[in-house]
């Protein structure tokens, strides 16, 4: 939910900077896309190193990072929860 709130805040701020009059989210998204594609050639958008390829890559990376964060229960580079007893092999007693 935090990511969605950040995205919504970004869209509203960017749309106002781009001079878009926004009344709903679809118009907001369309305005952002129009601004992003302005002045680009089809090759710059669809080519081997084009915008679509880079955007797809970043979206997949962000989705995977969000899924991983949700699975672990903490953000990257944060300390995770303290390990429970017998969770590390080095601390477990060896059988005799």
**What tens digit of pLDDT does each residue of 57-83 get?**
999 999 999 998 888 888 888 887 766
pLDDT at 85 over 90: no
Asked whether the beta carbons of 25 and 43 are under 8 A apart, the reply is: no
Q: What number of other Cβ atoms are within 10 A of residue 9's Cβ?
A: 10
pTM of the model: 0.53
Q: What distances in angstroms separate CA 14 from CA 26, 68, 72, 92, one per listed residue?
A: 14, 28, 32, 54
How many CA atoms lie within 13 Å of 60's alpha carbon, on the beta-carbon side? 6
pLDDT of 44 reads: 95
- Express each pLDDT in 11-57 by its tens digit: 566 556 556 665 667 888 888 889 999 999 999 999 999 999 999 99
For residue 31 the two structure tokens come to 């305005």
DSSP state, residue 9: H
C-alpha 56 chain-centroid distance: 11
């Amino acid at each position: 939910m935090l990511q969605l709130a950040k995205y919504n805040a970004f869209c509203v701020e960017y749309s106002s900077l781009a001079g878009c009059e926004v009344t709903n989210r679809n118009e907001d998204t369309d305005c952002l896309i129009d601004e992003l594609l302005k002045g680009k050639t089809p090759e710059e958008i669809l080519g081997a190193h084009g915008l679509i390829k880079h955007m797809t890559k970043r979206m997949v990376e962000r989705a995977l990072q969000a899924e991983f964060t949700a699975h672990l229960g903490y953000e990257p580079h944060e300390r995770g929860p303290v390990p429970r007893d017998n969770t590390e092999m080095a601390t477990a007693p060896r059988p005799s």
